[in-house]
Amino acid sequence: MMRIDIINGPNLNLLGIREPEVYGVKTFEEYFSSLKVLFSEIDLHYFQSNLEGEIINRLHEIGFSSDGIILNAAGYTHTSVAIADAVAAIRTPVIELHISNVFAREEFRHQSLMASKCVGLIGGLGLKGYELAIQYFIDSNKNS
Ligand code: DQA
């Protein structure tokens, strides 16, 4: 069975409550349940942390065995050399994901320290982006 991991960074535990006009009204737990139904053939895992080191530990833990990682490093995207280094250090391909369109927002969100270490980048498509990223990993697994 193919394994795909979602890692969400700081404040994404407040999805559904936090700035709903930017991030929507659904909690990630609700959305994750629907993802598990949609992709029942995939061994899907979800991890969220507000702590930089925990995100790095998780990348190390799964980064040599998982078939694909979807990383929404949230605010750390724009600041964390250490998470970017972890993405570069592991073997599993990583897709960087943002729920909002970071390029339509403040200038400090236009920079990503990890995008260059990722296979690709999805942003601005809401939670739908996670489905598209999973589908990408499934399709590229079939073709390899
Ligand atoms: C985010 C965008 C980041 O700039 C922000 O700090 C977040 C969420 C997104 O999913 O749109 O916390 O990664």
Q: Are 37 and 57 in contact (CB under 8 A)?
A: no
Determine the Cα–Cα distance for residues 63 and 4; give it in Å rounded to an integer. 11
Report DSSP letters for 18-84, one per residue.
S-HHHH-S--HHHHHHHHHHHTTTSEEEEEE-S-HHHHHHHHHHHTTT-SEEEEE-GGGGGT-HHHH
Domains and CATH numbers, the chain: 3-142 (3.40.50.9100)
pLDDT of residue 108: 97
pTM: 0.97
For residue 78, indicate whether it is catalytic: no
Q: Is 71 helix (H, G, I), strand (E, B) or coil?
A: strand
CA dihedral 12→137→124→83, nearest 10 degrees, is 50
| Long-range contacts of the stretch 16-25 (C-beta < 8 A, 24+) | 22/99, 22/100, 23/99, 23/100, 24/99, 24/126, 24/127
Atom of ligand 1 nearest to the CA of 72: 13
Q: Whose CA is nearest to atom 1 of ligand 1?
A: 74
Determine the Cα–Cα distance for residues 144 and 140; give it in Å rounded to an integer. 6
Pocket of ligand 1 (CB under 6 A): 11, 72, 74-75, 77, 98-100, 102, 109
Determine the Cα–Cα distance for residues 99 and 97; give it in Å rounded to an integer. 7
Give 3-state DSSP helix, strand, coil % of the chain, rounded to 5.
Answer: 45, 20, 35
Q: Cα 125 to chain center, whole Å?
A: 13
pLDDT by 10-residue block (mean), the chain, 144 residues:
98 91 90 97 98 98 98 98 98 98 97 98 97 98 81
